[in-house]
Structure 1
Amino acid sequence: MTPLRPLLFAVLLLSGCASASGPWVEVGGQRYTVEIADDEAERARGLMFREEMAPDHGMLFIHDELEPVAYWMKNTKIPLDILYFDNERKLVSKQVDVPPCTLGDRCPNYPSEAPARYVLELNAGQAAKLKLQDGAELKLSPAIPPAR
């Protein structure tokens, strides 16, 4: 084997590992692999129709600007914690242990108490487990596109 072949193999192996890790966020010292919802269609669908979500996974919603937001659980089958973050990615509000809703358009809204730019949905109970308080910082992986 020529000396370049092991080096090429190592580069290919490492680049494959980096891309396989996907986007993640950290909050309260815990890392979560996330799906990104950064356009209107993705934000509208959210976690609808999911039967379950892995304990270390979530969905990150990125809004176009800092604004008052409210989420609902229409067609969502798993209980969630909904965490609202501002432009500086500081926790400004949370809705915890939000139950699934099968009432269609009659499902209640769960608003943020302050304008938000980022919204993180995790399995219900995570906010309590992490003892999250207002001001907690949301760290984003390099794989997450910057807010538009």
Structure 2
Amino acid sequence: MRLSTWSVLAVTLLLSACANGGPWVEVGGERFKVEIADDDAERARGLMFRDELATGTGMLFIHEDEQPQAYWMKNTRIPLDILYFDNDRKLVTQQRNVPPCSGGNRCPSYPSDQPARYVLELNAGEAERLKLQDGAEMTFGKGIPPVR
């Protein structure tokens, strides 16, 4: 199997995070190592162009304010669960089993039903496996940057 430069970089970052204890969140009674996307460039890039997301990992998007959010799957190759959380880190919207999209700007968006501040992307099927329901709480572990 041949790994792309992005895959090697992602694996290296995740291994580094794991070795250093790295950032994590807990939801549904399970802990996930997360990459943090807390600025416009990181949020825009998200999980684009990746061929896989390792089991037990995800990406946590942190927004400056709680407000309606909408994510899309432009250039995303991995089916995902997109989970929206409010200021209190309570689950307010779930977009489950969102398919990859190679349609560029024609990719549909997947909005939150209520204002959200945090968005957690996990491999598709995780929300169902964990039996997540709206109102579920997300706990931050060490390594999550303070809210600005």
Shorter-chain TM-score bucket reads 0.7 to 0.9
1:100-139 equivalences in 2 (<5 Å):
100-139=100-139
How far apart, in 2, do the equivalents of 1:111 and 1:90 lie?
A: 16
TM-score with structure 2 setting the length: 0.87
Structure 1 segments (4+ residues) deviating >3 Å: none
How far apart, in 2, do the equivalents of 1:147 and 1:99 lie?
A: 30
C-alpha displacement of 1:19 = 6.6
Aligned match of 1:6? none
AA aligned to 1:112 is S
- Return the index of the structure with the highest Cα Rg: 1
How far apart, in 2, do the equivalents of 1:105 and 1:95 lie?
A: 19
AA aligned to 1:48 is M
How far apart, in 2, do the equivalents of 1:79 and 1:145 lie?
A: 27
Identity %: 69
- Asked if the contact 2:48–2:76 (Cα under 8 Å) also holds between the matched residues in 1, the reply is yes
How far apart, in 2, do the equivalents of 1:126 and 1:18 lie?
A: 20
AA aligned to 2:73 is M
AA aligned to 2:132 is L
C-alpha displacement of 1:147 = 1.5
AA aligned to 1:35 is E
Question: Is the alpha carbon distance of 1:93 and 1:18 closer, same or farther for their aligned partners in structure 2, counting shifts above 3 Å?
Answer: closer
- Counterpart secondary structure, 1:21: coil
AA aligned to 2:46 is G
Deviates more, 1:138-147 or 1:121-130: 138-147
C-alpha displacement of 1:146 = 1.5
Residues 18-39 of structure 1 show CA distances to partners (whole Å, capped at 9, x for unaligned) of 9711000000001000000000
- Asked if the contact 2:75–2:102 (Cα under 8 Å) also holds between the matched residues in 1, the reply is yes
- Counterpart secondary structure, 1:78: coil
Count of aligned pairs: 132
1:85-96 equivalences in 2 (<5 Å):
85-96=85-96
TM-score with structure 1 setting the length: 0.87
AA aligned to 1:116 is A
Residues 33-91 of structure 1 show CA distances to partners (whole Å, capped at 9, x for unaligned) of 00000000000000000000111000000000000000000000000000000000000
- Counterpart secondary structure, 2:43: helix
AA aligned to 2:51 is E
